[in-house]
Amino acid sequence: MALKRPKADAVIIGLGWAGSLMANELTMAGLNVVAIERGGWRDTSTDFPTSMDTDELRYATRRELLQPLSVETMSFRNNPGQQARPLRDFNTYQFGWGAGGAGSHWNGMTWRFLPNDFQTYSNTVAKYGKGRFVTGLTVQDWGVTYDDLEPFYDKFERYAGTSGKAGNIKGVIQPGGNVFEGARQRDYPLPPLERTRAAELFDIGAKELGLHSFPVPAGNTSGAYVNPLGIHMAPCTYCGYCEFFGCGNWSKSSPNACILPALIQRPNFTVITESEVMKVNLTPDKKMATGVTYIDKQGREWEQPADIVVISAYQMDNVRLMLLSGIGKPYDRASLTGVVGRNYANQTVSGAGVFFENENLNPFIGAGALAQSADDYNSDNFDHAKLDFIGGANMLIHSTNGRPIGSANVVPPGTPRWGSEWKKTYKDSYQVGNSIYNQGNSYPHEDVFLDLDPTYTDRFGRPLLRVTFDWNENDKRSGHFMADRAVEFGHAMNAKMVFRNEPTAKHFSPMDNLSSHTTGGAIMGDDPMTSAVNRYLQSWDVPNTFVCGASAFANNGGYNPTGTVGALTLWAAEAIKTKYLKSPGALVSL
Partner 1 sequence: MTSPILRRDLLGTAAALVGTAATLPAAEAAQISGSLPWSPSEGTPPPVEPTQPYTWEFFTADEAALVGAIADRIIPADDLSIGGKEAGCAVFIDKQLAGNYGKGTNYYLKGPYRPGTPQQGPQTLETFAQRYREGLAALVAFCASKHGGAAFTTLSAADQDALLHEMEAGAFYTGPVTSTAFFNQLIQNVREGYFADPIYGGNKDMAGWKLIGFPGARYDYRDVIGRRGEKLDLEPVGLMGRPGWNPA
Partner 2 sequence: MFTFRRIVVAVVCLGFLGVIGAGALYAFNRAYYSSQIAETAAPAPTAGQIARGHYLALAGDCIACHTAPGGQPYAGGLQLNTGFGLVAASNITPDKDTGIGGWTTKQFILAMHRGIGDHGKRLYPAMPYTAYAKVSDADLTDIKAYLDTLPAVHHDVIANQMPFPFNIRLMMVGWNMLFFDLGGQQYKNDPTQTAEWNRGAYLVQGLEHCSTCHTTKNLLGADESGKFLQGTDLAGWWAPDLTSNKRIGLGSWSEDDIVDFLKTGANDRMVAAGPMAEAVHNSTQHLTVPDLHAMAVYLKSLPASDDSAPSPVPANIPAMVAGRAIYAENCAACHALNGTGVPGMAPAFVHSPSVQAQNPENMIRTILAGGHVAATEINPTAASMPPFDWKFTDAQLAAVTTYLRNSFGNAAPAVTADEVAAKRKEIGARATN
Instruction: Name the binder of 513 from partner 2, partner 1, none, CB < 5-8 A by kind.
Output: none
Binding mask 205-244 for partner 1 (x = CB under 8 A): ------------------------------x-xxxxx---
Q: State which of positions 102-121 bind partner 1 (CB under 8 A).
A: none
Instruction: Name the binder of 234 from partner 2, partner 1, none, CB < 5-8 A by kind.
Output: partner 2
State the nearest-atom distance from the C-beta of 223 to partner 2, in Å: 10
Say whether residue 541 binds partner 1 (CB under 8 A): no
- How many whole angstroms separate alpha carbon 118 and alpha carbon 146? 7
- Which amino acid, residue 513? N
CA 440 centroid distance within chain: 13
| Helix 562-575 with 146-160: angle, nearest 10 deg | 110
Whole-number Cα distances in Å, 396 to 351, 353, 358, 361: 9, 12, 22, 15
Instruction: Name the binder of 307 from partner 1, partner 2, none, CB < 5-8 A by kind.
Output: partner 1
DSSP line for 532-558:
SB-TTSBBSSSTTEEE-SGGG-SSB-S
- How many whole angstroms separate alpha carbon 318 and alpha carbon 295? 17
User: Which residue, 36 or 263, has its beta carbon nearer to partner 2?
Assistant: 263
- How many whole angstroms separate alpha carbon 449 and alpha carbon 198? 38
DSSP bridge pairs for 303: 4, 293
User: Which residue, 416 or 529, has its beta carbon nearer to partner 1?
Assistant: 416
- Which amino acid, residue 574? E
User: Which residue, 235 or 463, has its beta carbon nearer to partner 2?
Assistant: 235
- How many C-beta atoms lie closer than 10 Å to residue 416's C-beta? 11
Cβ atoms of residues 124 and 390 within 8 Å: yes
Q: Which of 105, 398, 445, 517 is catalytic?
A: 517
Q: Which of 2, 80, 91, 127 binds partner 1 (CB under 8 A)?
A: 91
491 is catalytic: no
Instruction: Name the binder of 69 from partner 2, partner 1, none, CB < 5-8 A by kind.
Output: partner 1
Secondary structure letter of residue 318 according to DSSP: H
Binding mask 254-293 for partner 1 (x = CB under 8 A): ------xx--xx-xxxxxxxxx------------x-----
- How many whole angstroms separate alpha carbon 216 and alpha carbon 369? 7
- How many C-beta atoms lie closer than 10 Å to residue 279's C-beta? 18
Instruction: Name the binder of 296 from partner 2, partner 1, none, CB < 5-8 A by kind.
Output: partner 1
Say whether residue 509 binds partner 1 (CB under 8 A): yes
Instruction: Name the binder of 231 from partner 1, partner 2, none, CB < 5-8 A by kind.
Output: partner 2
Q: Is 265 exposed, middle or buried (0-12, 13-18, 19+ CB in 10 A)?
A: exposed
Q: How many residues bind partner 1 (CB under 8 A)?
A: 111
State the nearest-atom distance from the C-beta of 66 to partner 1, in Å: 8
- Which amino acid, residue 85? R
Nearest in space to 531 (alpha carbons), one of 347, 359, 340: 340
Instruction: Name the binder of 449 from partner 1, partner 2, none, CB < 5-8 A by kind.
Output: none
Helix count (H) and strand count (E) of the chain?
Answer: 14, 24
Instruction: Name the binder of 420 from partner 2, partner 1, none, CB < 5-8 A by kind.
Output: partner 1
State the nearest-atom distance from the C-beta of 411 to partner 1, in Å: 11
- Which amino acid, residue 587? L
Q: What are phi and psi of 555, to 5 degrees?
A: -155, 165
Say whether residue 502 binds partner 1 (CB under 8 A): no
Q: Which of 14, 16, 19, 86 binds partner 1 (CB under 8 A)?
A: 86
- How many C-beta atoms lie closer than 10 Å to residue 297's C-beta? 11
Binding mask 45-64 for partner 1 (x = CB under 8 A): xxx-xxxxxxxxxx--xxx-
- How many whole angstroms separate alpha carbon 146 and alpha carbon 115? 5
Say whether residue 85 binds partner 1 (CB under 8 A): yes
User: Which residue, 387 or 586, has its beta carbon nearer to partner 1?
Assistant: 586
State the nearest-atom distance from the C-beta of 183 to partner 2, in Å: 33
Nearest in space to 327 (alpha carbons), one of 374, 380, 372, 287: 287
- Spell 472-487 as b/e; 16+ CB within 10 A means b: bebbbbbbebbbebbb
Q: State which of positions 140-199 bind partner 1 (CB under 8 A).
A: 194-197
State the nearest-atom distance from the C-beta of 159 to partner 2, in Å: 13
Binding mask 300-339 for partner 1 (x = CB under 8 A): -------xx-------------------------------
Instruction: Name the binder of 455 from partner 1, partner 2, none, CB < 5-8 A by kind.
Output: partner 1
State the nearest-atom distance from the C-beta of 148 to partner 1, in Å: 25
Q: Which of 359, 484, 488, 574 binds partner 1 (CB under 8 A)?
A: 359
Point out which residues bind partner 2 (CB under 8 A).
Answer: 43-46, 49-52, 224, 226, 229-232, 234-235, 237, 239, 248-250, 261-262, 265
Q: Which of 147, 427, 454, 496 binds partner 1 (CB under 8 A)?
A: 427
Q: Which of 23, 365, 483, 587 binds partner 1 (CB under 8 A)?
A: 365
Length of the chain in terms of residues written: 590
Q: State which of positions 453-492 bind partner 1 (CB under 8 A).
A: 455-457
State the nearest-atom distance from the C-beta of 231 to partner 2, in Å: 5
Helix (H) or strand (E) holding 258: helix 255-258
Say whether residue 249 binds partner 1 (CB under 8 A): yes
| Helix 562-575 with 17-28: angle, nearest 10 deg | 30
Secondary structure letter of residue 252 according to DSSP: B
State the nearest-atom distance from the C-beta of 78 to partner 1, in Å: 6
State the nearest-atom distance from the C-beta of 554 to partner 1, in Å: 26
What's the angle, vertex CA 256, arms to CA 251 and CA 258, rounded to 5? 60
Please identify, among the stretches 87-95, 346-354, 444-452, 563-571, the one whose residues bind partner 1 according to the rule CB under 8 A: 87-95
User: Where do the DSSP E strands lie in 30-78?
Assistant: 33-36, 74-77
User: Would you please indicate which residues are annotated as catalytic (active-site) residues?
Assistant: 517
